[in-house]
Amino acid sequence: MPNPRVVTDNAHPAKKTASTAFVPTSVSPSRRARYKYTVRLWAVRNSRFLDWFYNRFADMFLLLHPLWNAIGYGRVERPVTFVERHVKGFLFDCRMCGQCALSSTGMSCPMNCPKQLRNGPCGGVRANGNCEVEPDMPCAWVQAWKGSRNMTKGDAILNVQKPVNQSLRETSSWLRVTAEAAAAREAAKKESRQ
C-alpha cells in the first residue's frame, strides 16, 4: 500500500523546493551582483595607485632576478604562479592569461569580457555601461577606459594588443615580464660596451 505522505510530497514539488531553499531576506539579487564586482570596481577607481604600486613591485622583482636565475625560473614558476593567481584573482578577477594587460587597460582585466576582446568593447555595451552577454556585469572595457583616465600613462589603452597567446595561459606574467626586462637590460649593457 503506497505511503500517502510520499504521494502528497511528489504531487507538489514546487512547494517542497520553496520550503527548503535558502533565501537571504535582506539581500536583493541586484545588491548581491554589485557586491560580486565590488573589488574589481575598486581596482579601477584606484588604478593610479595600483599602477604605481605595480611598478615598484616590478622593480623589486627585477632586483631579485639573480635570485630567480640562481634557483631557476622553471622552479619558481609554480609558487609564483600560485601567489599571482590568488592576489590578482582577488583584485581583478584575473583569468591567468599569462600576458597581463592591466597597465594598459586601467586595471580592468580584459579577459573578463565574455568575448575576450583585447582591443576595446564590442558594439553591444548596454546603455547603463553593462555587458550585453552578462547584463549584471559592468563592461570590462567601459571600466578599462574609466581606469585608464586616472593613470599617468593612460593613453597606453590606445595601443593595439596582440592576440592572446594561449600557450602562455596559467603561467606567471610577473616572471615573464621580469625575465624579459632582465634580458633587455643585459642586451643594453652589451651594446653600450661595444
Binding positions for ligand SF4, rule: CB under 6 A: 88, 92, 94-97, 100-102, 109-111, 173
CB 57 to ligand SF4: min, Å = 14
CB 96 to ligand SF4: min, Å = 5
Taking the least distance from each CB to ligand SF4, the nearer of 16 and 49 is 49
> What does the alpha-carbon distance between residue 20 and residue 12 come to, in Å, rounded to a whole number?
13
Angular region, 170: left φ>0, alpha ψ -120 to 50, beta rest? left
CB burial of 106-122 (b: ≥16 within 10 Å; e: otherwise) equals bbbbbbbbeeeebeebe
> What are the DSSP calls for 22-51, one per residue?
---SS--HHHHHHHHTHHHHHHHHTHHHHH
Taking the least distance from each CB to ligand SF4, the nearer of 12 and 169 is 169
Taking the least distance from each CB to ligand SF4, the nearer of 38 and 194 is 38
CB 25 to ligand SF4: min, Å = 35
Taking the least distance from each CB to ligand SF4, the nearer of 5 and 78 is 78
CA atoms within 13 A on the CB side of 172: 23
Taking the least distance from each CB to ligand SF4, the nearer of 112 and 182 is 112
Show Cβ contacts of residue 156 under 8 Å, excluding neighbours closer than 6 positions. Answer: 103, 104, 148
CB 141 to ligand SF4: min, Å = 13
> What does the alpha-carbon distance between residue 75 and residue 44 come to, in Å, rounded to a whole number?
33
Nearest CA-CA partner of 111 in 129, 93, 138, 124: 93
CB 163 to ligand SF4: min, Å = 13
